[in-house]
Each structure stands twice: as structure tokens, then as C-alpha cells.
Amino acid sequence: MRTGRLWRGAAAAPDLLVIAGWWALICTIGFWRKDFCGDGVRHLPAILESAYPHLGEPRWLFLPALLFIVLRPAVALGLVHDVEGLTRLMMAATVVAAGVYLLAVRACLAARGIAPGRRAVALAVAGGSAGLLVSATDLMEPIFGAMLVAVGLAVAARRASAPGASADDCGRALLSATAAIAAATLLYQGLLLGLGLVPLVVPGRTLRDRRALAQAALILAAVPLVMVGALSASGNSIGRAVARSVLAEENPLYRSYLGKPGFTPYLVALAAGPPLGVVTLGQHRGFRGVLADLHTTATRWPALLLLARLGFAMAVLAAGVIAAWRRRDWPLLWSLFALLVLPVMFRPQLHGYIKFYVLLPIVLAFGAARASPAAAAAVAALLLALNAGPLLASLPAQQRFYGDRVEAYARADAHSCWLTTGWVPTFSFRWPGAVCPILGSLAKGSGEDVERVTAAGRAALTACLEDCFCRSSAVFTDDMTESARPLVADSARHFGYTAVDLQAVVLPVQRARLASRAGSTLPVYQYPPDEQRRRCELMPRHR
């Protein structure tokens, strides 16, 4: 009898069954994984070290404060003592936020009159897409703001679609969605693109109502005012606060380092960026690298598989656009344009950021709900196989890699130094010593004087190199080997760095001391004492 009731309940609400299965999947992946996005982990040390919340960069202004409020009680109660423990708590908050996100999408679809069966398929498409599945199983900044956007859209959809909804009700629906998007933007700036989803849940006549639009504009105007006000209150001048709110990076050389001249970057971003929100492509060396791999027997098959995944993602997006065009579904077309075209037009150099596509699953769900159920179910199955499959398959290797790194890091102490071409070591929360990042140092610098900002980045690198080679007990690295010479040469040239010859700092593998297990995925090397002394002699104060 009880089994029969369960089956009848599942048949009556298959969409809730899909959400429950999907949530079990993301919990499995999220809590099993060890390697997390550095952009999320970077907020955790301050929660351990500070008794008060603080502001972040304008791109994620109030996110550190939110994480402090959510996670700090566990630290205060003595339940968590290190950053690794906080990663578990942040993952718990992440999967909860992701679950609320998908429930809110369900509410949107229900308010628009989509039947439970179609909702179930549409939610499977949204949950299986890379934009949500990756964000829900890693520590990333946008998921909390994206949850707010989805909830705001759900509230707006219910108000605007309620039986007998008046023009005032629809106006309030617009304000609800706008307020949620404004709040989300203060957590992660890119979520302002959520405005492109409002036509999916608010009637067109409301979007043409000048009074409603004026009220929504006032709400949105509060976003830059709050940003500038918060930054000014923390010690920035008004001019610098405005500049920091508008510019992605304070260091102008780092901004130009990320960008490339001409129209080619825009074309590449338009072609390769949006599919990343549908299907993960993994690590690859760009289009030129993939094309080069096609000419080598050992790499041909992986390159073909990557191109096949890219082609499938493009086909899904193209099919959605064509179907919406045929139906004259202008709200869906506008939403696709807002989420797929605008991000890569404004920041083409970052088209590979999966964070740009955290709202795309909402649009995919609306498109799938209006497509053929059989076709949408096939797409959902393929998305889960192509995205969840590799994530699950990579977890055992990730666990082994974590074990290798913990063993290698055990050879270091609090006075050791990690040298890297980029930002931080893998599993940075297990590294016991200091870190000297080449690009991370050069990209530093803050203030209103451009020359001082760029000079501060160069000075930061010189100081950290000197501390690393002349004052640390040992120097470790996993990427400052011969293969890094072109990269460090390019970094030195672009940032005008001449204080130390970075190519001379590179450690040849044949002279290195292996600190990790033989055959490790990404070996850790230690500079032998004599090699460390030679690099110390390159420093300006020791010549």
C-alpha cells in the first residue's frame, strides 16, 4: 500500500523526483571532491583570521560578508579549525543554494502553466547543463546570487501569472524580480545579466509601462550607489570608488594582459564561450592547440571528442534559437541574447569562465519546456552523461592527486615558499608556507595613481622572490620548469619587469629534487640548496 502511494506521488510530481535525484547527485560529487575553484576558497582564510566581516572587490562586494555570517558561527563554536574544514561547510551552503535555485526554476515553470511532465524534463535539462552542475559541485561565488535571481523570478512569475492579476500586480512582479537581481549584483556583479530573464516571467505590457520601468530603474540605481558608498566608507575616495566599481581590475597592465586587440577575440568568444554553459570541455589548449592535436596520433582521439562535445553544445543552442524564432518567442530570444552574447562582448577575454553561464540553465529550462518532450529528454540524458559522467569519473583520480600533494606538502614547513607562474598552489589550504605568485604579484597594486599601481605590482614580485629564495627554508614549485620560460618571459615583457631575470629563476627538471611521488600527475619539485642560493644572488640586494 505504501509503495503504491509512493509511485502515485512520484507520478503526480515527477519534477520533484527529478530535483531530488539531481540534488543527491550534486551532494555526492560536491562532498567527494577535494580540488576546488580558487576563487571560492580565497574568501575562507579571512573567516578564520578575522572576528568581523569585510568587503570584497566590487565584482563580489558583499559575498565575503555573507560567507562570514553563514560560516563564522561554526568557527566561533569550535566546530571548524582550518580552511579545509570551511570548504566542507561552504560546500554544504553551495548545494543548499543550488537546490533552492532549481526549486525556484520549477516554481517559474509551474507559474507559466507548464505541466509536471514537461517540467520534469525541463528541470533535468537545466540541472544537467554545465552552467548549474559545475557551479553546484564546486566552490564558486555566483551560485548564492544566482539563487537570489531565481527566487526573485519565481516570485515575479507567481504574481504576474496569478488568476486575475492586475496591472499593479504585474508591476509589483517586475519590482520583485528587479530587487532580487539588484541584491544578487552586490554579491556577484555579473548577475546583473539576470535582467535579461525578466521578460520570461513578466508580461510585455508591463515592460512597456513607463511608471513600472521608472520604479525598477530606481531600484537598480541603488546598486552603484551602494557600491560606491560602501567603498568610500572603507577608505576609498569617491573617484577611486567609482573607478573600482566600473573597472574589473585596478592594475591597468593586468587589464591589458587579459585582453587582446582586434575582432578575433570576440569571434572566438562568441563561438567557444556560450557552449561552455551547456557542456564542459575540460582542459584544452585553445582552438589552435586542438587543431594541432588532430595531426598527432596520440592526441587525435581526445581532440575529436572535445570537438564533438563542442559541436553538440552548439547544436543545442542553435536548436533553441531556431525553435524560439519560429514560435516568435521574443522573451526567450532576448534572454538567450542577454546571457550568451552580452558577457562575451563586454569581456571576451574571460569567455571561458563558467561563472558567466550560471543563469543559462533557467533559459534552457524554459526552452526545453516548450520543445518536444522526447527531444528534450534525449538532450537531458546526454547533458547528464557528458557533464556528470566526467565529474564522477575524475573523483578517484582527484582523491589520489590530493593524497600525493598532501604527502609532498608534508616535506615543507611554515618557513617554506611555493613559487608559481600563476596564483596559488593546488589544494592551497594544505600548503603550510608562504606563496610567491609571479602573475599574482604583478597584477597587484591599488590606488588612484596609475604609475604607482603598476610599480607596486613589480615591487611586490621583487619582494616575494627575495623572501622566497633568500629567507625561506626551502622553495617548492610544480610549474616553474623549462616549459614555463615562454610564459614568464611574456609576463616580464608585458608588465615591464626587469628587476630580476625571471627566466633565470626557472628550475631545470634535471637539477631539481623531486618532492612528490614518482609518476605523480603534476610533480612537485624542490630547489636544491645550491640552486636556491644561486637564485638568491640574482636578487637586487644580493648582487
Give the pairing type, strands 525-526 and 513-514: antiparallel
Q: Say if residue 503's pLDDT is above 80.
A: yes
Distances (CA, A) of 382 to 138, 275, 362, 364: 21, 14, 18, 14
Mean pLDDT of 298-318: 85
Give the position of cell 569567455: 351
Output the pLDDT for position 454.
Answer: 86
- Is-contact 47 73, C-beta < 8 A? no
Residue type, 282: G
Output the pLDDT for position 538.
Answer: 92
Best CA proximity match to 135, nearest among 393, 385, 332, 360 = 360
Output the pLDDT for position 288.
Answer: 67
User: Cβ contacts of residue 332 below 8 Å, gap of 6+?
Assistant: 200, 320, 324, 363, 366, 367, 370
How sure is the predictor about 244, in pLDDT bands with cuts at 50, 70 and 90? confident
User: Cβ contacts of residue 53 below 8 Å, gap of 6+?
Assistant: 64, 65, 68, 69, 72
User: Cβ contacts of residue 84 below 8 Å, gap of 6+?
Assistant: 429, 430
Q: Say if residue 539's pLDDT is above 60.
A: yes
Mean pLDDT of 349-360: 81
**413-455 pLDDT per residue, tens:** 999 999 999 999 999 999 999 999 999 999 987 777 778 888 8
How sure is the predictor about 6, in pLDDT bands with cuts at 50, 70 and 90? very low
Give the position of cell 527566487: 151
Residue type, 51: A
499: DSSP letter: S
Mean pLDDT of 206-233: 92
The Cα–Cα gap between 146 and 295 comes to 42
CA atoms within 13 A on the CB side of 479: 17
The Cα–Cα gap between 94 and 458 comes to 37
Which residues sit opposite 420 in a β-bridge? 437
**401-410 pLDDT per residue, tens:** 999 999 999 9
Mean pLDDT of 97-118: 96
Output the pLDDT for position 12.
Answer: 67
Binning the chain into helix, strand and coil, the percentages to the nearest 5 are: 70, 5, 25
Output the pLDDT for position 10.
Answer: 53
**159-170 pLDDT per residue, tens:** 999 888 899 999
Coil, helix or strand at residue 418: strand
The Cα–Cα gap between 236 and 469 comes to 35
- Is-contact 361 119, C-beta < 8 A? no
How sure is the predictor about 96, in pLDDT bands with cuts at 50, 70 and 90? very high
Output the pLDDT for position 1.
Answer: 47
> How many residues would you count in the chain?
543
Q: Say if residue 185's pLDDT is above 60.
A: yes
The Cα–Cα gap between 4 and 490 comes to 67
Distances (CA, A) of 392 to 32, 212, 226, 377: 9, 47, 41, 21
**Percent of the chain residues past pLDDT 70, beyond the cut:** 94
Best CA proximity match to 442, nearest among 275, 250, 276 = 250
Lowest mean pLDDT among 246-250, 302-306, 371-375, 409-413: 246-250
The Cα–Cα gap between 194 and 475 comes to 45
Best CA proximity match to 157, nearest among 104, 210, 220 = 104
Give the pairing type, strands 434-437 and 475-477: unpaired
Q: Say if residue 345's pLDDT is above 90.
A: no
**118-172 pLDDT per residue, tens:** 999 999 999 999 999 999 999 988 999 999 999 999 999 999 998 888 999 999 9
User: Cβ contacts of residue 263 below 8 Å, gap of 6+?
Assistant: none
The Cα–Cα gap between 266 and 274 comes to 12
Q: How far is CA 10 from the centre of its chain?
A: 34
Q: Is the model's pTM score more than 0.85?
A: yes
The Cα–Cα gap between 62 and 174 comes to 24
